[in-house]
């Protein structure tokens, strides 16, 4: 075998590693989409406002949130934070408590009376929004920012929609709710209460509106047939919660049963407890793993003394006696009857088996079509079959939540603005999502999530005081600093300090870095040291891949 000298050996080694004069790969600064941003139904740039919050720039962080979502104090309380379910930090210790930091910033904005900046010019266009719930409020805010004149017409006596009528005060205090709505009014949005829209086309023409956004919430409880049900006292959950939230609750008796397994069922049961029921039970036909309610809702209900009867369905009611059948799950996880029965006693029954939206007022409008469940069919621009009439929130086929509704309002506003300008709105391209397995957390340090203080259990059922407490400024700062800045450079200087050739050039605060490729050997140390994977190694030109 022929021998090779040391110079040849060094050249071969360099070529194998892709370094030196024969560099085959080079580093490149890139941006990925953090999973929290991707999961947010309201489209918040969570990573951006967390970065500002961790720098102590509270107002700037709040203003970054409200670029997409005008209701951060509300969302910090009622959003089910899907962003936290996908947070990469969970693979180190626990997810960042994004909702808690958002609430801190939202409440701080209310304390300091931070207001939205009004648009410099007005377009002269007018938009009618039907419904003052989260979707309508969001659309109004964004349309007003475009410079349009906006009026919301609301059938109820108070703005807020299902946030006000369906969510108890122990989760969403009314002062903060109304304060965030007033701020939207201060932007120039007119809200007319106690005004039910029955003839959309007539109101559009009479008011001189150029477009309409229908955003009526799901206020109608679904019906369910139970033999002899008239023999007992039956209430629907939406009406019950609305009356309770308005301070005029119906008489329930000592023992209250709630039929259903969603968040509304949990709220109804917990509200009954607070109204003086001695015994409150939930009857649900599936098991806990199949319930639509979020786990923490069920946990809190159980903590407060609510009993949950899993795998039970009501077959018959005889005054205060409920005949229930025991169910079993089949191989597909579906409940099947067993022929075994039990009897439960309750003075009243609250039905919480789902809600529908009243879309009847749109049935008279030519061109508008509906799904089997009466939700409105819209196109990719969120427009119905009648030109100029758009719909969103609970009115269209989609997941129903406050945050989804707010996201619908934002996107509807963009489509409506484009429509008014004779254009079509298209979302920009999205960067690839960065997963936890691609992070290089060489500095990995455990710093568990800050827990929000809670009202003691023995005090909760005495009234409707808010259960969860706000973070302190120090806690909010700590929590914001737990963000890993997944996929985007946060100028940690890891690449700058690690480069053995001095090929990294600092461009100044907020400007990141650049590479000096006359010095770079392609050793990939910068790539390996970048904790958030904001550096990718790419092929050199001529090496079979794009530069």
pLDDT 10s digits, 400-442: 899 999 999 999 999 999 999 999 999 888 999 999 999 998 8
Q: Give, in words, the CATH class of 221-355.
A: alpha beta
306: left (phi over 0), alpha (psi -120 to 50) or beta: beta
Mean pLDDT (whole number) for 319-335: 91
| pLDDT score, position 9 | 37
Cα distance between residue 400 and residue 41, in whole Å? 11
Least confident of 17-21, 54-58, 297-301: 17-21
pTM above 0.85, yes or no: yes
What's the pLDDT tens digit per position in 241-261?
999 988 888 999 999 999 999
Q: 358 falls in which pLDDT band (50, 70, 90)? A: confident
| CB neighbour class for 208 (10 Å; exposed up to 12, middle 13-18, buried from 19) | exposed
What's the pLDDT tens digit per position in 93-140?
999 999 999 999 999 999 999 999 999 999 999 999 999 999 999 999
Q: 6-31+489-539: what fold?
A: Alpha-Beta Plaits (3.30.70)
What percent of the chain stands above pLDDT 70?
A: 94
Cα distance between residue 88 and residue 67, in whole Å? 24
DSSP assigned state of 374: S
Count of residues in the chain: 547
Mean pLDDT (whole number) for 330-350: 93
| pLDDT score, position 225 | 80
Mean pLDDT (whole number) for 368-384: 94
Q: 543 falls in which pLDDT band (50, 70, 90)? A: low
Instruction: Tell the residue number behind the tokens 């929590």, with chain if given.
Output: 479
What's the pLDDT tens digit per position in 132-158?
999 999 999 999 999 999 999 999 999
Could you give the residue range(s) of every CATH 1.10.1060.10 domain in the chain? 39-114+442-477
DSSP assigned state of 144: H
Cα radius of gyration (the chain): 28
Cα distance between residue 29 and residue 530, in whole Å? 10
What's the pLDDT tens digit per position in 62-95?
999 999 999 999 999 999 999 999 999 999 999 9
Could you give the residue range(s) of every CATH 3.50.50.60 domain in the chain? 126-219+359-420, 221-355
| pLDDT score, position 207 | 96
- CATH architecture of the domain covering 39-114+442-477: Orthogonal Bundle (1.10)
Q: Kindly give, in sequence order, each residue whose CB lies less than 8 Å from that of residue 458, ignoring residues fewer than 6 positions away.
A: none
Least confident of 173-177, 315-319, 411-415: 315-319
Could you give the residue range(s) of every CATH 3.30.70.20 domain in the chain? 6-31+489-539
pLDDT of 14 over the 50 cut: no
Q: 283 falls in which pLDDT band (50, 70, 90)? A: very high
Which backbone phi and psi does 22 adopt, to 5 degrees? Answer: -100, 30
Q: 232 falls in which pLDDT band (50, 70, 90)? A: low
pLDDT of 3 over the 60 cut: no
Mean pLDDT (whole number) for 373-401: 93
Cα distance between residue 16 and residue 324, in whole Å? 73
Mean pLDDT (whole number) for 171-199: 97
Q: Kindly give, in sequence order, each residue whose CB lies less than 8 Å from that of residue 122, ignoring residues fewer than 6 positions away.
A: 147, 148, 149
- Cα within 13 Å of Cα(527), Cβ side: 14
Q: 24 falls in which pLDDT band (50, 70, 90)? A: confident
Instruction: Tell the residue number behind the tokens 């475009």, with chain if given.
Output: 146
pLDDT of 356 over the 90 cut: no
| Pairing status of strand 348-351 against strand 233-236 | parallel
What is the three-class DSSP state of 114?
coil
| Of residues 358, 438, 303, the one with CA closest to residue 156 | 358
| pLDDT score, position 446 | 81
| pLDDT score, position 355 | 85
> 126-219+359-420 domain in CATH 1.10.630.10?
no
| pLDDT score, position 4 | 39
pLDDT of 381 over the 60 cut: yes
Cα torsion for 411, 136, 394, 353, to the nearest 10°? 150
Higher pLDDT, 257 or 7: 257
Q: Mean pLDDT for the chain?
A: 91
| pLDDT score, position 428 | 86
| pLDDT score, position 21 | 53
Mean pLDDT (whole number) for 38-43: 96
């Amino acid at each position: 075998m022929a021998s090779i000298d040391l110079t040849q050996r060094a050249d071969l080694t360099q070529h194998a590693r892709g370094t030196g004069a024969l560099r085959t790969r080079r580093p490149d600064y890139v941006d990925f989409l953090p999973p929290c941003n991707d999961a947010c139904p309201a489209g918040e740039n969570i990573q951006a406002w967390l970065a500002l919050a961790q720098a102590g720039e509270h107002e700037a962080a709040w203003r970054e949130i409200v670029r997409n979502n005008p209701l951060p104090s509300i969302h910090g309380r009622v959003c089910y934070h899907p962003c936290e379910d996908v947070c990469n930090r969970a693979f180190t210790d626990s997810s960042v408590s994004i909702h808690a930091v958002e609430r801190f910033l939202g409440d701080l904005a209310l304390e300091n009376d931070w207001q939205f900046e009004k648009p410099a010019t007005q377009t002269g266009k007018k938009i009618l929004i039907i419904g003052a719930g989260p979707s309508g409020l969001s659309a109004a805010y964004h349309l007003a920012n475009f410079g349009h004149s906006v009026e919301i017409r609301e059938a109820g006596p108070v703005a807020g929609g299902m946030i006000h009528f369906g969510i108890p005060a122990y989760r969403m205090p009314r002062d903060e709710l109304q304060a965030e709505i007033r701020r939207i009014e201060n932007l120039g949005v007119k809200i007319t209460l106690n005004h039910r829209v029955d003839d959309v086309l007539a109101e559009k023409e009479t008011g001189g509106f150029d477009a309409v956004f229908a955003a009526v919430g799901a206020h109608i409880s679904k019906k369910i047939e139970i033999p002899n049900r008239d023999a007992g006292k039956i209430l629907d959950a939406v009406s019950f919660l609305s009356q309770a939230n308005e301070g005029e609750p119906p008489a329930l008796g000592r023992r209250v049963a709630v039929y259903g397994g969603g968040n509304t069922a949990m709220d109804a049961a917990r509200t009954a407890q607070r109204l003086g029921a001695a015994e409150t039970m939930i009857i649900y036909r599936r098991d806990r793993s199949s319930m639509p309610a979020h786990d923490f809702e069920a946990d809190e209900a159980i903590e407060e003394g609510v009993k949950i009867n899993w795998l039970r369905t009501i077959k018959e009611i005889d005054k205060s006696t409920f005949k229930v059948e025991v169910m079993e799950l089949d191989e597909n996880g579906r409940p099947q009857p067993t022929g075994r029965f039990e009897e439960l006693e309750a003075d009243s029954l609250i039905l919480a088996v789902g809600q529908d939206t009243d879309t009847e007022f749109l049935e008279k409008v030519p061109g508008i079509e509906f799904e089997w469940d009466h939700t409105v069919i819209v196109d990719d621009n969120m427009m119905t079959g009648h030109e100029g009439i758009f719909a969103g929130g609970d009115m269209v086929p989609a997941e129903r939540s406050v945050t989804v509704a707010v996201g619908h309002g934002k996107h509807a506003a963009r489509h409506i603005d484009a429509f008014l300008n004779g254009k079509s709105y298209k979302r920009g391209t999205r960067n690839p999502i960065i997963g936890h397995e691609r992070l290089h957390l060489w500095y990995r340090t455990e710093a568990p999530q800050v827990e929000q203080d809670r009202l003691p259990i023995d005090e909760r059922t005495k009234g409707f005081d808010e259960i969860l407490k706000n973070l302190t400024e120090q806690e909010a700062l700590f929590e914001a600093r737990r963000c890993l800045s997944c996929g985007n450079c946060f100028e940690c200087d890891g690449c700058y300090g690690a480069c053995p050739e001095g090929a990294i050039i600092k461009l100044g605060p907020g400007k990141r870095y650049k590479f000096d490729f006359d010095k770079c050997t392609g050793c990939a140390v910068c790539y390996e040291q970048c904790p958030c994977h904001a550096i990718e190694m790419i092929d050199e030109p001529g090496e079979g891949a794009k530069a």
